[in-house]
């Protein structure tokens, strides 16, 4: 199990630390560090998605989903008002 974990989990952390240079946190406090970690992981995941499916396909997928989110947002705002 440890060997499998090393193959799956250690690669992203190694990439973030070695290639991107994030060896320490720029913020202090548990909430701030958690937010910083989430943003770094989001950037890593976006880079992976772009590498796998490409920029054009990612933009197309995001555009296809945009109307769904705006409609949900409008419904939520109409219930509040």
DSSP calls for 4-37: HHHHHTHHHHHIIIIIS---S-SS-SHHHHHHHH
Q: pLDDT, tens digit, for every residue of 34-81? A: 999 999 999 999 999 999 999 999 888 888 887 665 555 555 545 554
pLDDT at 9: 76
pTM of the model: 0.66
- pLDDT of residue 28 exceeding 90, the answer is yes
Query: Is a pLDDT exceeding 80 seen at residue 21?
Result: yes
pLDDT score recorded for residue 52: 95
């Amino acid at each position: 199990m440890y060997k499998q974990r090393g193959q799956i989990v250690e690669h992203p952390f190694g990439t973030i630390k070695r290639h991107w240079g994030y060896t320490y946190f720029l913020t202090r406090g548990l909430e701030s560090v958690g937010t910083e970690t989430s943003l770094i992981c989001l950037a890593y995941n976006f880079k992976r998605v772009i590498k796998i499916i490409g920029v054009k396909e990612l933009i197309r997928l995001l555009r296809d989903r945009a109307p769904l989110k705006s409609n949900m947002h409008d419904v939520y705002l109409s219930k509040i008002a």
